[in-house]
Amino acid sequence: MPRFGVTLLSGGLDSTTVAAYAKERVDHLWAVTFHYGQSNAKEVDHAARIAGLMGIEHRLLDISFLSEVAWYSALTNPDGFPTPAGRTGVEIGHGVPITYVPMRNLIFLSLAAAYLESQTLHAIEAESVAASEVEAAVYIAPNALDYSGYPDCRPEFYEKVRKTIEAGSKLFTVYGVSMKVETPIIHLSKAEIALLGMRLGAPLEHTWSCYKGDPMPCGQCDSCVLRAKGFAEAGVPDPLLVSLGAA
């Protein structure tokens, strides 16, 4: 049964772990990275490197115009909104921080699903692959436990998006092929994600989670705090910091 998949790869710990997870389950896998006008584009370079190391075909999509409409965020408008720093894990878990980018995951999923549908429809209509034998899924790395309070990281959001994608797709309405939205780490702690990534052999030493683009992770932004917490609770050193000689 041909299995087609698109994995959203940001270059961070979570998405790299999910990419490794998807690679074990998909016959034809593409990694998609978005340049969405984020202030730190360093993660884009890390994503490309990671995809190459994992042998996954990589597509970088420039949707930098998103920053013009999703401007109410520290990630797309750093001059207008400072990135929170030095918050505790308890503080991070309450409220929606200014690093939330309006509608980002909804837009990412729509574009990833469009790419997946194109690839799958081509296999069915141009290569005569039987639709009854096809599986298709978008893999994405939200987390509802150790996360920054983003509303688009909740399980109910992804269930509703999946139904919407199906209702609006030729792949489902004509051929009956569901485009699943797979969120394999949504219920895992950051420690469990770190251990899963290591078990899957993901190149975690090349991942970048920091909201800033300095040579070293800042260690103060929410993403750095959560990452450090995860590796500490897992009882293993962070492969990135080891590779940088900082651990």
Average pLDDT over the chain reads: 94
User: Which phi and psi angles does 245 have, rounded to 5°?
Assistant: 75, 25
The pLDDT value recorded for residue 94 is: 73
Asked if residue 220 lies in contact with residue 54, where contact means CB atoms within 8 angstroms, the answer is no
Q: Residue 234 has what DSSP assignment?
A: H
Strands, E assignment, the chain: 3-8, 28-35, 57-62, 135-139, 179-182
Residue 148 pLDDT: 66
Indicate if the pLDDT at residue 162 is higher than 80.
yes
Q: Which domains does the chain have, with CATH numbers?
A: 3-243 (3.40.50.620)
- 212 band by pLDDT with thresholds 50, 70 and 90: confident
* DSSP codes of every residue in 43-59: HHHHHHHHHHHHT-EEE
64 pLDDT exceeds 70?
A: yes
Residue 233 region by backbone torsions, left for phi larger than 0, else alpha for psi between -120 and 50, else beta: alpha
Stretch among 21-25, 38-42, 80-84, 117-121 having the lowest mean pLDDT: 38-42
In 3D, which of 72, 164, 175 has the Cα closest to residue 121?
175
pLDDT at 149: 77
* Phi, psi of 5, deg, nearest 5: -150, 150
CA distance 79 to 129: 50
The answer for 55, left when phi > 0, alpha when psi is -120 to 50, beta otherwise, is left
**Separation of alpha carbons 191 and 228, rounded Å:** 9
Map residue 5 onto helix, strand or coil.
Answer: strand
